[in-house]
A and B are shown apart, each in its own frame.
Chain A
């Protein structure tokens, strides 16, 4: 705010007074939002110094003494903590699997929707497929528990009825991971088609006509016209997802986890919650959060450069 004003004041005196008389209300409007960002976003950044300090309940953040080992004590502790190492590995593993299985899914669905000739059915499918996006993970977790339970779940009962062995969807690590990824796809596949479908509508229809005249069938039209037409959307979204590889969702693993699979389901976000807010190890978990944020920013900028190398508009 101040810097904006001082910048403004550098100009011609008379012009500035005129400018402010006309536009001071714009700064008035910005006052509350800026106060919001200052209090709820920037002060917590200042609080990040707790990562380098010995936490104390009675002292203010500025007064807390520096931690041992040049303030790095809690980073060392974090990396010596087995649960954190597992959480780090799990975060990367689950995100990579989400990327491999979850990323192509909406592209395929968008291509299918685009090929659908019945517009009413297309609209209906879209509406229905957006629905899971509007459900909370608590609800989805509840549904999954209900439907996929080992002995009472509808799916396993159907499998047993058909003479197939029951599947431990949520109670065995490898199956849990598969279930986690599948539920993610279920929740987001419809919603994530939106950007691809928007990109498809931007493709010049003459290209399809030309392809048809050249005798291209459906698959060749998809391959040679539609996919190249949404290439830049795909590249940008893929690189953005790569940049978020260390980002961790809280609700989804937290709701779906259980004691049997904690070895693969504990991610950074759930680790920070359990060790920090519940376990009161504030300095160590702040260090973990800071580590995660810094790496995320690094990845994002790397992703941005990658996008530009592919000749795309950046993502930052």
Chain B
């Protein structure tokens, strides 16, 4: 780029803006990490800023010893893995056939699918349907109802459509059927889009809480976010805090912070590595054919 006319001051203002943006994004997380590692006394006195005071890992030990919390953590991990796998399979099964120009009825399928993106029946009809299907309060309700996203399907379809058709045609001449072509040619080339969608679906399930709030009233099947929601809204902190913590507001605070860390850190560890892919994925989503 041309640099001659750039003012030095302008460059530094821009660097400053970026640094401020980063700080604003990071500081809340730094604070919660510091709180989770601080002593209960420091927390009660409200002394914890960006650095732990009276360093201790008691809170993490307490959280890990809390059966309900660790159970919810494992349960959510299981839901996330199973849900993401199912979603990816469904998305591929939906997107791949729609990339065939020759597919008879392709327009019909496309319209049928896109229509659900623009018009949705609303949450109550869905709730009543799940009730009629006897899915309410069963684990399956946290996986099936939202297992296929039209938006993500479109991302995959756009990606697959951009692969050269000649590859498919030469495989067809060699006698390979559509499923064979999907498995041995398309899927191996789709690693970037699969990684992106896996991240999107997994984050959606890991962070999801309203479906559980509405469709699931069995505590043993609460995903982690619903447990956390109950934790931050109820002053008594019924779920995770032990009798000891209930009487000690400082411990309650550090427990909350530690619980937040458990729910947040897994995602924070994963997403930066997939940045290149999800940027491409998010851009593909803007193409709607």
Q: Compute how far the CA of A178 lies from the CA of B271 in the bound complex, rounded to whole angstroms.
A: 29
Determine how close the nearest CB of chain B comes to the CB of A287; give it in whole angstroms. Answer: 9
| B286 partner residues in chain A, CB cutoff 8 A | 195
**In the assembled complex, how far is the CB of residue B231 from the closest CB belonging to chain A, in whole angstroms?**
8
Contact with B along A296-315 (1 / 0, CB 8 A): 11001000000000000000
B25 x A131 contact (CB < 8 A)? yes
Most buried by B among A25, A139, A288: A139
B122/A195 in contact, CB under 8 A = no
Residues in A neighbouring B243, C-beta threshold 8 A: none
Q: Is B158 located at the chain interface by the 8 A CB criterion?
A: no
Residue of A nearest to B89 (CB): A32
How many angstroms from the CA of A5 to the CA of B96 in the assembled complex? 18
C-alpha spacing A49/B121, complex, angstroms: 10
Give the most central of B24, B28, B203, B264: most A CB within 10 Å: B28
Please name all residues of chain B whose beta carbon is closer than 8 Å to the beta carbon of A7 when the two chains form the complex: 104-105, 108
Given A34-B109, A136-B207, A293 and B267 contact (CB-CB distance below 8 Å): no
Per-position binary interface string of chain B over residues 91-105, scored 1 when its CB falls under 8 Å from any chain A CB and 0 otherwise: 001101110101111
Q: Are B25 and A40 in contact (CB under 8 A)?
A: no
Instruction: List CB contacts (< 8 Å) of B1-54 with chain A.
Output: 1-7, 10-11, 14-15, 17-18, 21-22, 24-26, 28-29, 31-32, 35, 46, 49
Contact A127 B103, beta carbon cutoff 8 Å: no
The answer to whether A218 touches B272 (Cβ under 8 A) is no
- Contact, CB under 8 Å: B121 / A44: yes
Whether, in the assembled complex, A198 has its beta carbon less than 8 Å from a beta carbon of chain B, the answer is: yes
Chain B residues within 8 Å of A282, by CB: 124, 128
B166 within 8 A of A: no
Main secondary structure of the interface of A (DSSP, over half): helix
Q: How far is the CB of A223 from chain B (nearest CB, A)?
A: 14
**Are B119 and A134 neighbours in the complex by a CB distance under 8 Å?**
no
- Counting contact residues on chain A (CB < 8 A from B), the size range is 35 or more
CB distance from A113 to the nearest CB of B (A): 7
Binding-face segment, A75-83, A92-100, A143-151? A143-151
B56: CB under 8 A from chain A?
A: no
Asked if B170 is at the interface (CB within 8 A of a chain A CB), the reply is: no
Note all chain A residues with C-beta closer than 8 A to B264. Answer: 135, 139
Given A41-B116, A138-B232, A316-B118, is A276 in contact with B271 using a C-beta cutoff of 8 Å?
no
Chain B residues within 8 Å of A39, by CB = 129
Give, as a whole number of angstroms, the nearest-CB distance from A100 to chain B: 20
A273 to B6, CA, bound (A): 54
CA–CA, A208 to B1, complex, Å? 8
B198 to A: closest C-beta gap in Å: 14
Cα–Cα distance between A90 and B140 once the two chains are bound (Å): 34
Considering the chains assembled together, what is the distance between the CA atoms of A130 and B267 in angstroms? 12
Residue of B nearest to A185 (CB): B24
- Give A39 to B209 CA distance when docked, in angstroms: 22
* Contact assessment for A136 and B225 in the assembled complex, using a CB-CB cutoff below 8 Å: yes
- In residues 174-227 of chain B, which contact A (Cβ within 8 Å)? 177-179, 182, 203, 206-210, 213-214, 225-226
Given contacts A44-B122, A44-B126, A127-B275, contact A109 B21 (CB under 8 A): yes
Q: Tell me whether A146 and B32 are in contact in the complex, defined as CB-CB below 8 angstroms, given that A23-B100, A37-B113, A277-B214 are known contacts.
A: yes
CB contact between A289 and one of B4, B118, B121 (< 8 Å): that residue: B121
19 A-B pairs (CB sep. < 8 Å): A4-B105, A28-B179, A33-B93, A40-B146, A47-B126, A112-B17, A112-B18, A129-B22, A134-B267, A136-B209, A139-B264, A141-B232, A142-B228, A145-B232, A152-B46, A276-B124, A285-B124, A290-B121, A292-B122
